[in-house]
Amino acid sequence: MSKRRLDKTTSLASAIRECVHDGDQVAMGLCLESLIPFAARHEFVRQGKKALTLIGPISDILFDELIGAGCVQRVIAAWVGNVGAGMGYNFRRAVERGIPRPLLLQEHSNFTITLALKAAALGVPFLPTRTGAGGDIIKNQEGFGVVVCPFTGVQLTAVKAVVPDVTILHVQRADMFGNAHVWGNLGVAVEAAYAAERVILTCEEIVDREVVAADPNRTLIPGILVDAVVHEPLGAHPSPVQGFWKRDDAYFLGYHEHSRGREDFLAWLKEWVLDLPDREAYCAKLGIQQVGTLRITEKRLPVGEVNYGC
């Protein structure tokens, strides 16, 4: 796959197979609680990806699941858990007891992980900040250093750039070139796309290039950054997608219960991931009724015109 192709549409399985390799640094879950690319995570598990480094601010249960599935060797993050329920049991098992394998951690705050990705996006080795001074996150870690301002002499924390091998984003719509329209809260999605060597988009809709070009301010991810575009409706379930899907709160709470014990988690993983060949089978398992409950039917459109007239 390449950024220079015209038509970048492909299947999720081939996008993950070709763009994500064992040992890669993968950024995902970048909008915080919404637009989390859960479909891609299931494909990681099915393809048996190993020794991944996961990068993201707050991943909700995405990172916890991948850790429990044994795909992860290291996490660079500000928070790992289950936003609606608290702790992530797989994360705890891995850090506290090395189950299923030991996990290396690079601690961040939301701001510092943002600066690490922004530095990579800008092509500089670090960015300075005042955050976290006097605290333990910025101490004794490979991700932080000290820098003295050449203009004022003030001492600041240097946040080292983090360059993802791959950034995976779920978006509302994209054209076949990978130009993506995204709306709602953005988290660090844009920084992570600009920072990464490769970008995979999963999207609710693939649209004609004219749909994108009609509203270029909404194109937050330009196609020149993108390697693969995958049409994957509901690909962020159970996280919400503005204008498409509500958050499936019950699924997150169910996961909390099913991941409490290792055996229960493995049964859950078999039922919801390994026994399902693809996202279509996953949606069928969720059931028409549940999918219908989550679907957003309300229309809430911009009122004032945006006139790009020339």
Partner 1 sequence: MSETLATREIMIAAAAREIHDGEVVFVGMRLPLVAFAVAKELHAPAAVGIFENGVIRDRRPLSPIVTMGDPPNIAGATACNGLIDVMALLQRGRIDLGFIGGAEVDRFGNLNTNWTPEIRLPGSGGAADIASFARRTVIIMTHEPRRFRERVQYLTSAGHGTGKGWRQSVGLSGGGPSKVVTSLGVFSFDDSGDMILTSLHPGITEEEVQANTGWILRSAPTVTETRTPTTEELALIRQFDTLG
Sites of contact with partner 1 (CB under 8 A): 31-34, 57-58, 77-81, 83-84, 86-88, 91-92, 95-96, 107-112, 114-115, 118, 129-137, 154-155, 183-191, 239-240, 242-243, 246-247, 249, 296, 300
Query: Measured from the CB atom, is 95 or 273 closer to partner 1?
Result: 95
Q: What's the closest the beta carbon of residue 156 comes to partner 1, in angstroms?
A: 8
**Structural contact between residues 199 and 178, judged by C-beta atoms closer than 8 angstroms:** yes
Query: Measured from the CB atom, is 9 or 114 closer to partner 1?
Result: 114
In the numeric block, the tokens 């004022």 are attached to 152
Q: What's the closest the beta carbon of residue 148 comes to partner 1, in angstroms?
A: 12
Specify the 3-state DSSP secondary structure of 107. Answer: strand
Q: How many CB atoms lie within 10 A of CB 122?
A: 13
Query: Measured from the CB atom, is 87 or 273 closer to partner 1?
Result: 87
Query: Measured from the CB atom, is 14 or 185 closer to partner 1?
Result: 185
Q: What's the closest the beta carbon of residue 14 comes to partner 1, in angstroms?
A: 30
What is the radius of gyration, based on Cα positions, of the chain?
Answer: 20
Query: Measured from the CB atom, is 19 or 190 closer to partner 1?
Result: 190
The vertex-267 CA angle with 25 and 28, nearest 5°, equals 20
| Rounded distance between C-alpha atoms, residue 77 and residue 59, angstroms | 8
Residue 15: closest CA among 182, 179, 189, 199: 199
**Structural contact between residues 270 and 46, judged by C-beta atoms closer than 8 angstroms:** no
How far is residue 74 from each of residues 23, 54, 63, 142, measured CA to CA in Å?
10, 6, 10, 13
Q: What's the closest the beta carbon of residue 188 comes to partner 1, in angstroms?
A: 5
Q: What's the closest the beta carbon of residue 145 comes to partner 1, in angstroms?
A: 15
